[in-house]
């Protein structure tokens, strides 16, 4: 029960990785506020539905979570969107969506959460970046990779700037994970998701792509006291398949 007495906010809580993080935090004693566009049916102590593209919603989430839970010790900025293609195929809408969800929303949430955590003596923020962009360039996903590089850089800078307040900011950088984000991408391109996931798994030295729980375990480690000396780290989770 590493998180007994702790209060956590998790964005993208209805998605693959977010749902696993929520389940595991609660299983280890945390009280959790879940944020996503639709949080119906998610077991949690507080439900804060909304659209992260709405600046007022993103600005207010940390305070709303603290109000609902009676504290705020952990924030997991997990929500994300993927846009595919080179810059020449990128629309203005793709640009705004990617920057809005993957970079601006976590910026707004961190900006609001950090003073609340500092008032209370500290806390832990875990951002979800990616091997793609967060660690190395990836092909044919220029804007997605750029946003994940941006959140990785923001993580490193915030990790440095807020360590003195007892606030540790770190990020996980997964490679391919078996979630709706990946599976709907396969389906949109005309592939059977189960077959495509199995084939992709054969390209990973460990023999399979990640499951959401593989990422959640590392996110929870970073949120826990066991990671007490980690500030601004970008932790690659790749099954032996780096992107470089
Ligand atoms: P997912 O699509 O299953 O979940 C993403 C969640 O974010 C969804 O529930 C969605 O509703 C929410 N979200 C998106 N836009 C939103 C908005 N405007 N307002 C509120 N909520 C919004 O995807 P996932 O694979 O679980 O992704 C979680 C994180 O992991 C993302 O940041 C993603 O970039 C990152 N990631 C995923 C993979 C992968 O292979 N699946 C790899 C590396 C990194």
Question: Is residue 174 within 6 Å of ligand 1 at its C-beta?
Answer: yes
Q: Is residue 37 part of a domain?
A: yes
What is the whole-number distance in angstroms between the Cα of residue 180 and the centre of ligand 1? 8
Q: Alpha-carbon distance 52 to 35, whole Å? A: 9
Task: Check whether residue 129 and residue 97 sit in a common domain.
Answer: yes
Task: Check whether residue 39 and residue 141 sit in a common domain.
Answer: yes
Tell me the angle at which helices 212-223 and 16-27 cross, rounded to the nearest 10 degrees: 50
Q: Is residue 34 part of a domain?
A: yes
Domain that holds residue 199: 178-209
Per the annotation, the verdict on 57 as an active-site residue is: no
Q: Is residue 40 part of a domain?
A: yes
Q: Is residue 48 part of a domain?
A: yes
Task: Check whether residue 110 and residue 198 sit in a common domain.
Answer: no
ipTM of this complex:
0.99
Task: Check whether residue 70 and residue 184 sit in a common domain.
Answer: no
Note the pLDDT of residue 242: 83
Out of 15, 107, 136, mutate this one to test ligand 1's pocket (max ligand atoms within 8 Å of CB): namely 15
pTM summary value: 0.98
Task: Check whether residue 189 and residue 221 sit in a common domain.
Answer: no
Note the pLDDT of residue 59: 98
Number of domains in the chain: 2
Task: Check whether residue 100 and residue 182 sit in a common domain.
Answer: no
Task: Check whether residue 115 and residue 44 sit in a common domain.
Answer: yes
SS3 of residue 62 by DSSP:
helix
Tens place of pLDDT for every residue, the chain, 244 residues? 999 999 999 999 999 999 999 999 999 999 999 999 999 999 999 999 999 999 999 999 999 999 999 999 999 999 999 999 999 999 999 999 999 999 999 999 999 999 999 999 999 999 999 999 999 999 999 999 999 999 999 999 999 999 999 999 999 999 999 999 999 999 999 999 999 999 999 999 999 999 999 999 999 999 999 999 999 999 999 999 987 6
Nearest-atom index, ligand 1, CA of 184 = 2
Q: Is residue 243 part of a domain?
A: no
Question: Is residue 18 within 6 Å of ligand 1 at its C-beta?
Answer: yes
DSSP labels, 212-238: HHHHHHHHHHHHSGGGTT--S-EEEE-
Q: Alpha-carbon distance 72 to 66, whole Å? A: 5
Question: Is residue 17 within 6 Å of ligand 1 at its C-beta?
Answer: yes
């Amino acid at each position: 029960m590493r998180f007994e007495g702790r209060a956590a906010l998790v964005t993208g809580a209805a998605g693959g990785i977010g749902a696993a993080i929520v389940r595991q935090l609660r299983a280890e004693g945390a009280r959790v506020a879940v944020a996503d566009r639709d949080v119906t049916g998610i077991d949690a102590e507080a439900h804060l539905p909304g659209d992260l593209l709405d600046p007022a919603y993103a600005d207010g989430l940390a305070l709303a979570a603290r109000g609902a839970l009676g504290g705020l010790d952990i924030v997991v900025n997990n929500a994300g969107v993927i846009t595919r293609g080179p810059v020449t195929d990128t629309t203005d809408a793709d640009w705004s969506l990617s920057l809005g969800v993957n970079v601006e929303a976590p910026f707004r949430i961190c900006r609001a959460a950090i003073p609340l955590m500092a008032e209370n003596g500290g806390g832990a923020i875990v951002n979800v970046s990616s091997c793609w962009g967060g660690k190395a360039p990836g092909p044919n996903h220029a804007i997605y990779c750029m946003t994940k590089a941006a959140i990785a850089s923001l993580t490193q800078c915030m990790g440095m700037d807020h360590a003195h307040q007892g606030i540790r900011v770190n990020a996980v950088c997964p490679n391919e994970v078996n979630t709706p984000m990946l599976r709907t991408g396969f389906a949109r391109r005309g592939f059977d998701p189960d077959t495509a996931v199995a084939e992709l798994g054969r390209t990973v030295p460990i023999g399979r792509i990640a499951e959401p729980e593989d990422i959640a375990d590392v996110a929870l480690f970073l949120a826990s006291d066991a990671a007490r000396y980690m500030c601004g780290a970008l932790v690659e989770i790749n099954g032996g398949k780096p992107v470089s």
